[in-house]
Homo-oligomer: A and B are copies of this chain.
């Protein structure tokens, strides 16, 4: 199929989010915030009940001002989708008709594939109280619905927009398990490193008479090694463990190596120094 020049856009242009007759400015703002979190920026409103611009929307958008500022208002749904090539309608209820029904994961991928082909896409969301009329759903190509509990189906528009924005973002990840940051690479240490810990620990325990009676020592050693093997500790973790054992090895009530006071340990910190680093978000 030849490229359609008028509608060609940058490759990963996200879907426009189209709210049909939204009622509350707060909800519009929450929609903008949800979009911005997942990289969407094009918000369209069809006949917002309380008019536009809306200070309540801006306040609820929590710094997503770029979305609020670029929001466009239309008199009717047909005008709002006129420049788009492909449109999803969100609905919680089964409709008669010929439209394919997708889940959000599938819909996210369908939108991504069309965006990468240079097509413009959009997603329709209905009114807070009763969603979209059938003739409005009729203006869409396909339906997307969320796998909610049939016993409690009550997503508001900002929640529905959040889920679709999230699936849009996910559809662009190289792998589903990709995250913005990752934990340390914790490959299991080599057996030599592990066995070195065994030797150190078993020596310290031997010195304290842990392996008694003597005939049980082989079984006790087996158990101890099994416990320390199953976790698959990485090298940095083995170092933490060695430090712990080393610290315990220095003091014992019966045979203190210093004067027996914890104050001797230079690594002991006052309680007030406990690290409480703040996080921006949960």
- Say whether A47 faces chain B, with CB atoms less than 8 Å apart: no
A243 CB to nearest B CB, Å: 14
A128 CB to nearest B CB, Å: 8
Candidate in A20, A105, A133, A149 with the most chain B CB atoms within 10 angstroms: A149
Are A135's CB and B276's CB within 8 A? yes
Are B36's CB and A106's CB within 8 A? no
- Say whether A169 faces chain B, with CB atoms less than 8 Å apart: yes
Are A177's CB and B62's CB within 8 A? no
A141 CB to nearest B CB, Å: 12
Collect the chain B residues with CB atoms within 8 Å of residue A279's CB. 91-93, 126, 130-133
Which residues of A, 175-193, contact B by the 8 Å Cβ criterion? 176-184, 186
Instruction: Mark interface residues in A129-158 (1 if CB within 8 Å of B CB, else 0).
Output: 011111100000001011111101111110
Which residues of A, 19-66, contact B by the 8 Å Cβ criterion? 20, 33-34, 36-39, 62-64
CA distance A26 to B125 in the complex (A): 23
Known: A159-B37, A280-B130. Is A101-B181 also a contact (CB below 8 A)?
yes
Interface of A is mostly: loop
Are A153's CB and B280's CB within 8 A? yes
CA distance A160 to B159 in the complex (A): 10
Give A234's nearest chain B residue, CB to CB.
B98
A137 CB to nearest B CB, Å: 8
- Say whether A166 faces chain B, with CB atoms less than 8 Å apart: yes
Known: A279-B93, A280-B153. Is A101-B182 also a contact (CB below 8 A)?
yes
Show the binding face of A for B, using Cβ within 8 Å. 20, 33-34, 36-39, 62-64, 90-94, 97-103, 105-106, 124-128, 130-135, 143, 145-150, 152-157, 159-160, 162-163, 166, 169-170, 173, 176-184, 186, 234, 236-237, 274-282
- What are the 9 closest A-B residue pairs judged by CB atoms, nearest first? A126-B282, A131-B279, A92-B281, A131-B282, A94-B181, A101-B183, A130-B278, A36-B152, A39-B149
